[in-house]
């Protein structure tokens, strides 16, 4: 005889009260999820989130109120959820899930892990931890009106990394520095400019094209790029031009930051250098402007003389949504530089500022600088509101989408706890019903990919790079951490001697950092064993040496599709909502610093095999969207 | 509604701009202003009602009126999160008021303990949209008829265990869509004996017929299937299923016995899904943005299937 406790079979209800579950993230999805778990009868819940509450969260993260702004999300979420069910056992961690304290043993405590995250690095990490601990993981994501849920179980389903996700969109250096054609190029430039002026930059040497740069991060250079291949009438000329300007001690070759410091961050001098002198320099590279509209340098004095007082009077509607006149942005530039200068002065010697979209002078600076540059390059200027979306990588979000997805997460969880893994599904939430009238589309889960570089039995990849020009630290940061999602890699060379290249223990292999791979005898065909012991993950890397990479490309993973855009969505509206309602191109990386990156939009191949039930009739969208203040965006 | 906005505040405050930032970036400032000028009635504060209340309050409507004559029981505390565990015996709408208001102090939330059946017609006519949960078929039909004549948007929805639905009637002239809506009465009284209807049965979600069964149970027993009387209610459900399918002149095979043990009580995650879809439909209608779903949404929590389909004349 069936016995029910509420809607559930008694056996299921009983197992809910005894099992322990982990919720990773207490934001949009997390709040809804905690509520559902508690009401459904889960009694032992642990929730972790490193973030604090912001006022912009309050339109959907309903466990938080205005009075909680600034407090720990995990902690307040726990307190609010306990109100619905005082007998629930909730533990809150105000911490990063990537902290080594949360090792495989920690994960093994749980019957189920549910992600409610907003970035790829954490998703990759939890994916690996759950594989290592062999605990089922429910993954999910939302953006605007769209959402998705899926189940990951070692050996049974694809893991999060089985299908390659499009990498962050980046722009070539010369586009940013010389020939911007879209607002996003100017915004990226403005953020680089901020970093140049306000931070120390990296103390490591990186390679950028054919030039080796000193102290600062060459990836974020803002001054004109004299080595731009497009600029040269012939290749010898480009090389000569580059060498000449370096030898000259040409003022434009002095680092922007040094120069700025030497002028005391004088806003008008800075304005004239960036928006007049540098532009005039670009104009001398006349080949660039044969087929493009040439940029028009700005002159502070002239603009001041022509300024009209009523130019910037506010209309109705949001102040942030207005577009000022050119003089308005000149003044904004001046004002924000002065504010940032005094912030730096207050902090003292060696001070640094980190760009934050919610820090008004930082946002003002980028708004002004980006707009001035857009104007110079004949683009229509944009409001602070729109620039904030792009620069801050804001994903629009509402309560209802998160509510639906969180409901689906719990329903999948119940199937897992009932031992009905085969009935688990990937479910996609569309904005409009598909041709089969479905708004919610369940799809059968795919089995693991045999070539997955994470969950295959002995994962292996081939990486193409130049062993003479790639440094050990580059391998560690850009390849192992950023590309392959390791948190604390250890690398040894399979050279018969087990030479240790990188140790995750601090300081042990620091001396190796700025050496090149070839210095260790690494060459074409060499094999490296990379481990992340926390993730219980070993990856074998085959080195494919090449001298022949595209400009601005420092390595390639063989087998990756080149950075091509995924097929366009069938519903144009969905794209617009994901790109924050603006019609500009997708948001790319605006920083090469360590990214709190992504989640990305991933387009699934249409399945060739027939699916018994609910075949997806349009490409499904795996929605794990990026969210970061620093950079990166959905790759549409 | 546009007139109302201009008379009230054309400028959105800094506080609203900050709080609603992430949704203004999705649906735009004009949509947010229309929401801000809208008054909504929500009947029924069970699990589904609480979800809809939360979604509309967070969206930033001008006012939300909660109407529910039921008392808080132990079951209510399990079903919804607005009612404090200490509120047993109180009126459900009034007990939900405080937490509902905390969700967003910028919305005017009110609560009334009356039976919707006892409310006069003009009570319903003061709203821009009416959302009915936990209501009898007769009440829903009456309110729908009354409101849609006056351009008031009508929504209905319920959750039964793993199953849930929502219905909308936006029959009023809507400048952004040319699609038409029909009344709930017409939607429920489709004639399945016609050749055309019979032919379309194959593509018809069985959830539609399940809805008939559950609405009839509610009408006959004055309540929904109760886990405490599982045995008798299960039997009654099977009986009603037989009667309903017969009276609609469709095959008894359409609905197997399977559904019976899965339609008890309001399941929280199912309330979340249906409440999310329903809430967003209300937001779309009030903000006059984006195509509405016509005219039913059915959710099957066991399969993860969410289907939109139109039922009505022609």
Tell me whether A427 touches chain B (CB under 8 Å).
yes
- Say how far residue A373 (Cα) sits from the centre of its chain: 24
Q: What pLDDT score was predicted for residue A308?
A: 76
Query: Has A130 been labeled as part of a binding site?
Result: no
Task: Give ∠ CA A460-A466-A471 in degrees, rounded to 5.
Answer: 90
Q: What pLDDT score was predicted for residue A234?
A: 61
End-to-end CA distance of chain B: 32
Q: How confident is the model at residue A170 (pLDDT cuts 50, 70, 90)?
A: confident
> Are A388 and A113 contacting, i.e. CB atoms less than 8 angstroms apart?
no
Of residues A200 and A166, more confidence is placed in A166
Q: How confident is the model at residue A598 (pLDDT cuts 50, 70, 90)?
A: very low
Which 3 state secondary structure label does DSSP give B299? strand
Minimal Cα–Cα distance from A60 to chain B, Å? 6
Q: What pLDDT score was predicted for residue A453?
A: 93
Facing residue for B19 by CB, picked from A32, A59, A409: A59
Nearest residue to B69 via CA among B100, B35, B92: B92
Topology adopted by domain A173-231+255-392: Arc Repressor Mutant, subunit A (1.10.10)
Query: Which of A224-238, A391-405, B128-142, B208-222 comes out lowest in average pLDDT?
Result: A224-238
Minimal Cα–Cα distance from A615 to chain B, Å? 12
Q: Tell me the average pLDDT across B77-103.
A: 94
Which one of 3.30.70.1560, 2.60.120.10, 1.10.760.10, 3.10.290.20 gives the CATH number of domain A460-558?
3.10.290.20
Mean of per-residue pLDDT scores for chain A: 82
Facing residue for B272 by CB, picked from A9, A36, A319: A36
Checking if the pLDDT of B142 tops 80, the result is: yes
Best to test chain A binding among B306, B309, B311 (most A CBs inside 10 Å): B306
Query: Has A631 been labeled as part of a binding site?
Result: no
Checking if the pLDDT of A203 tops 50, the result is: no
Which 3 state secondary structure label does DSSP give A349? coil
pLDDT in tens, A333-369: 999 999 998 888 888 777 788 899 989 999 999 999 9
Query: Has A59 been labeled as part of a binding site?
Result: yes
- Token code pair at residue A325: 């006149």
Checking if the pLDDT of A470 tops 60, the result is: yes
Contact A400 B75 (CB under 8 A): no
Checking if the pLDDT of A563 tops 70, the result is: no
Checking if the pLDDT of A492 tops 80, the result is: yes
Q: What pLDDT score was predicted for residue A166?
A: 78
- Token code pair at residue A470: 């790639």
A112-115 and A20-24: which strand pairing? parallel
* Residue in this structure with the two tokens 């821009």, named with its chain if needed: B128
Q: How confident is the model at residue A257 (pLDDT cuts 50, 70, 90)?
A: low
- Respond yes or no: is residue A174 known to be catalytic: yes
Report d(CA A140, CA A149) in Å as an integer: 4
Q: Tell me the average pLDDT across A497-522.
A: 93
Report d(CA A230, CA A226) in Å as an integer: 10
Tell me the backbone φ, ψ of residue B196, rounded to 5 degrees: -60, -45
Q: What pLDDT score was predicted for residue A242?
A: 53
Q: What pLDDT score was predicted for residue B5?
A: 44
* Sequence ranges of the domains in chain B: 14-186+266-309, 188-261
Percent pLDDT > 90 in chain A is 65
Q: Tell me the average pLDDT across A527-554.
A: 92
Report d(CA A227, CA A239) in Å as an integer: 7
Measured between CA atoms, the residue of chain A closest to residue B261 is A2
Q: How confident is the model at residue A456 (pLDDT cuts 50, 70, 90)?
A: very high
| Three state DSSP letters for A181-196 | CCHHHHHHHHHHHHHH
Residue A8 backbone class (left: φ over 0; alpha: ψ -120 to 50; beta: rest): beta
Write the CB contacts of A342 (distance below 8 Å, at least 6 apart in sequence): none
Facing residue for B51 by CB, picked from A8, A403, A410: A403
Q: What pLDDT score was predicted for residue A181?
A: 96
Tell me whether A66 touches chain B (CB under 8 Å).
yes
Classify each residue of A331-361 as buried b or exposed e, where b means 16 or more C-beta atoms within 10 Å of its C-beta: bbbbebbebbbeebeeeeeeeebebebebeb
Nearest residue to B3 via CA among B31, B47, B34: B34
Q: What pLDDT score was predicted for residue A228?
A: 77
Minimal Cα–Cα distance from B118 to chain A, Å? 30
> Are B264 and B230 contacting, i.e. CB atoms less than 8 angstroms apart?
yes
Tell me whether A546 touches chain B (CB under 8 Å).
no
Q: How confident is the model at residue A271 (pLDDT cuts 50, 70, 90)?
A: very high
Question: What value does the CA radius of gyration of chain B take, rounded to a whole number of Å?
Answer: 19
Q: What is the ipTM of this complex?
A: 0.96
Facing residue for B303 by CB, picked from A432, A437, A442: A442
Contact A399 B55 (CB under 8 A): yes
In the CATH hierarchy, which top-level class contains the domain B14-186+266-309? Answer: alpha beta
Contact B23 A59 (CB under 8 A): yes
Q: What pLDDT score was predicted for residue A306?
A: 87
Tally Cβ neighbours within 10 Å of residue B249. Answer: 12
Q: How confident is the model at residue A618 (pLDDT cuts 50, 70, 90)?
A: very low
Q: What pLDDT score was predicted for residue A220?
A: 64
Q: Which residues of A touch B272 (CB under 8 A)?
A: 32, 35-36, 403-404, 406-407, 410
Task: Give ∠ CA A506-A507-A511 in degrees, rounded to 5.
Answer: 140
Contact B78 A6 (CB under 8 A): yes
Checking if the pLDDT of B307 tops 60, the result is: yes
pLDDT in tens, A361-402: 999 999 999 999 999 999 999 999 999 999 999 999 999 999
Checking if the pLDDT of A450 tops 60, the result is: yes
Checking if the pLDDT of A73 tops 50, the result is: yes
Query: Has A159 been labeled as part of a binding site?
Result: yes
Query: Has A120 been labeled as part of a binding site?
Result: yes
Q: How confident is the model at residue A133 (pLDDT cuts 50, 70, 90)?
A: very high
End-to-end CA distance of chain A: 52
Q: Tell me the range of A492-501, A554-563, A611-620, B207-216 where mean pLDDT is highest.
A: B207-216
Checking if the pLDDT of B139 tops 70, the result is: yes
Q: Which residues of A touch B80 (CB under 8 A)?
A: 39
Minimal Cα–Cα distance from B15 to chain A, Å? 9
Say how many CB pairs under 8 Å bridge A and B: 196
Minimal Cα–Cα distance from A625 to chain B, Å? 15
* Residue in this structure with the two tokens 């389909």, named with its chain if needed: B309
Q: How confident is the model at residue B285 (pLDDT cuts 50, 70, 90)?
A: very high
Query: Has A530 been labeled as part of a binding site?
Result: no
Contact B19 A58 (CB under 8 A): yes
Measured between CA atoms, the residue of chain A closest to residue B264 is A7
Report d(CA A512, CA A171) in Å as an integer: 30
Contact B75 A614 (CB under 8 A): no
Contact A6 B290 (CB under 8 A): no
* Sequence ranges of the domains in chain A: 10-167+396-444, 173-231+255-392, 460-558
Given A130, A174, A443, A616, which residue is catalytic? Answer: A174
B104, B109, B114, B115 alpha-carbon torsion, rounded to 10°: -60
- Report yes or no on whether pTM surpasses 0.90: no
Q: Tell me the average pLDDT across B214-222.
A: 97
Checking if the pLDDT of A583 tops 50, the result is: no
pLDDT in tens, A288-318: 999 999 999 999 999 999 887 655 555 656 8
Q: What pLDDT score was predicted for residue A623?
A: 42
Q: How confident is the model at residue B8 (pLDDT cuts 50, 70, 90)?
A: low
Report d(CA B144, CA A554) in Å as an integer: 64
Q: What pLDDT score was predicted for residue A277?
A: 92
Which one of 3.30.2130.10, 3.40.50.300, 3.40.50.1820, 3.40.50.720 gives the CATH number of domain A10-167+396-444?
3.40.50.720
Q: Tell me the average pLDDT across B123-136.
A: 97
């Amino acid at each position: 005889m069936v016995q029910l406790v509420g809607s559930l079979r008694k056996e299921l209800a009983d197992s809910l009260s005894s099992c322990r579950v982990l919720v990773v993230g207490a934001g949009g999805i997390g709040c809804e999820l905690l509520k559902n778990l508690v009401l459904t009868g889960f009694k032992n819940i642990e929730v972790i989130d490193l973030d604090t509450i912001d006022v912009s969260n309050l339109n959907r993260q309903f466990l938080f109120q205005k009075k909680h702004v600034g407090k720990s999300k995990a902690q307040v979420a726990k307190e609010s959820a306990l109100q619905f069910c005082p007998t629930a056992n909730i533990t809150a961690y105000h911490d990063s899930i990537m902290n080594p304290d949360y090792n495989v043993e920690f994960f093994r405590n749980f019957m189920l892990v549910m992600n409610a995250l907003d970035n790829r690095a954490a998703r990759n990490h939890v994916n690996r931890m759950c594989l290592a601990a062999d605990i089922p993981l429910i993954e999910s994501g939302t953006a605007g009106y769209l959402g998705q849920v899926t189940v990951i179980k070692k050996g049974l389903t694809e893991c999060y990394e089985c299908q390659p996700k499009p990498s962050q969109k980046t722009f070539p250096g010369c586009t940013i520095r010389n020939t911007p054609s879209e607002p996003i190029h100017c915004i990226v430039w403005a953020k680089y400019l901020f970093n140049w002026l306000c931070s120390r930059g990296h103390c490591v040497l990186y390679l950028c094209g054919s030039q080796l740069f000193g102290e600062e991060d060459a990836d974020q250079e803002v001054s004109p790029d004299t080595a731009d291949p497009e600029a040269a009438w012939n290749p010898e000329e480009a090389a000569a031009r580059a060498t000449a300007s370096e030898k000259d001690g040409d003022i434009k070759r002095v680092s922007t930051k040094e120069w700025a410091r030497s002028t005391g961050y004088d806003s008008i001098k800075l304005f004239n250098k960036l928006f007049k002198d540098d532009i005039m320099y670009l104009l001398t590279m006349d080949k660039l402007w044969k087929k493009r509209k040439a940029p028009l340098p700005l002159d502070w004095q002239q603009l001041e003389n022509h300024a009209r007082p009523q130019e910037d009077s506010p209309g109705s509607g949001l102040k942030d949504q207005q577009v000022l006149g050119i003089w308005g942005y000149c003044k904004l530039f001046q004002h924000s530089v002065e504010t940032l200068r005094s912030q730096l002065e207050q902090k003292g010697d060696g001070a640094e500022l980190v760009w934050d979209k919610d820090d008004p002078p930082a946002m003002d600076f980028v708004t002004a600088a980006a707009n001035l540059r857009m104007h110079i390059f004949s683009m229509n200027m944009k409001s602070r509101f729109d620039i904030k979306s792009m620069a801050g990588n804001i994903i629009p979000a509402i309560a209802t989408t998160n509510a639906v997805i969180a409901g689906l997460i719990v329903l999948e969880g119940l199937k897992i706890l009932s031992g009905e893994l085969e009935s688990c599904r990937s479910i996609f939430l569309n904005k409009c019903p598909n041709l089969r009238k479905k708004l919610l589309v369940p799809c059968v889960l795919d089995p693991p990919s045999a070539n997955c570089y994470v969950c295959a039995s002995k994962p292996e990849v081939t990486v193409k790079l130049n062993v003479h020009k790639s440094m050990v630290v580059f391998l560690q940061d850009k390849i192992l951490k950023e590309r392959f999602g390791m948190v604390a890699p250890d690398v040894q060379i399979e050279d018969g001697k087990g030479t240790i290249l990188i140790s995750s223990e601090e300081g042990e292999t620091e001396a190796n950092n700025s050496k090149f791979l070839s210095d260790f005898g690494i060459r074409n065909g060499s094999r490296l064993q990379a481990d992340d012991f926390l993730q219980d993950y070993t990856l074998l890397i085959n080195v494919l040496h090449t001298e022949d990479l595209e400009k601005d490309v420092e390595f390639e993973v063989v087998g990756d599709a080149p950075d091509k855009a995924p097929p366009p969505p069938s519903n144009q509206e969905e794209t617009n909502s994901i790109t924050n309602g603006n019609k500009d191109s997708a948001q790319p990386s605006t920083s090469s610093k360590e990214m709190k990156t992504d989640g990305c939009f991933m387009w699934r191949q249409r399945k060739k095999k027939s699916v018994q039930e609910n075949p997806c009739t349009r490409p499904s969208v795996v929605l794990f969207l990026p969210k970061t203040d620093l950079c990166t965006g959905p790759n549409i | 509604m546009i007139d109302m906005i201009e008379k009230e505040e054309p400028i959105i405050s800094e506080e609203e701009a900050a709080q609603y930032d992430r949704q203004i970036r999705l649906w735009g400032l004009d949509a947010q202003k229309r929401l801000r000028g809208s008054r909504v009635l929500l009947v029924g504060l069970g699990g589904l009602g609480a979800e809809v209340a939360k979604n509309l309050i967070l969206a930033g409507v001008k006012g939300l009126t909660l109407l529910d004559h039921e008392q808080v029981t132990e079951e209510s505390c399990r079903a919804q999160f607005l009612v404090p565990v200490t509120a047993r015996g109180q009126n459900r709408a009034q007990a939900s008021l405080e937490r509902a208001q905390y969700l967003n102090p910028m919305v005017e939330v009110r609560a009334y303990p009356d039976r919707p059946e006892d409310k006069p017609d003009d009570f319903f006519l003061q709203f821009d949209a009416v959302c009915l949960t936990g209501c009898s078929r007769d009440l829903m039909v009456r309110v729908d008829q009354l409101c849609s004549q006056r351009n008031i948007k009508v929504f209905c929805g319920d959750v039964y265990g793993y199953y849930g639905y929502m219905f909308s009637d936006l029959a009023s002239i809507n400048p952004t869509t040319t699609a038409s809506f029909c009344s709930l009465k017409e939607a429920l009284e489709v004639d399945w004996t016609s050749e055309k209807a019979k032919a379309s049965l194959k593509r018809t979600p069985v959830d539609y017929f399940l809805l008939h069964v559950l609405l009839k149970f509610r009408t006959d027993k004055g309540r929904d299937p109760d886990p405490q009387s599982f045995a008798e209610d299960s039997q009654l459900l099977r009986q009603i299923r037989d009667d309903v399918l017969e009276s609609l002149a469709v095959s008894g095979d359409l609905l197997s016995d399977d559904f019976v043990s899965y339609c008890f009580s309001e399941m929280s995650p199912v309330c979340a899904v249906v409440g999310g879809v329903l809430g967003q439909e209300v937001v779309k209608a009030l903000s006059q943005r984006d195509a509405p779903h016509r005219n039913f949404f059915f959710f099957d929590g066991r399969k993860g299937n969410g289907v939109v389909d139109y039922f009505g004349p022609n």
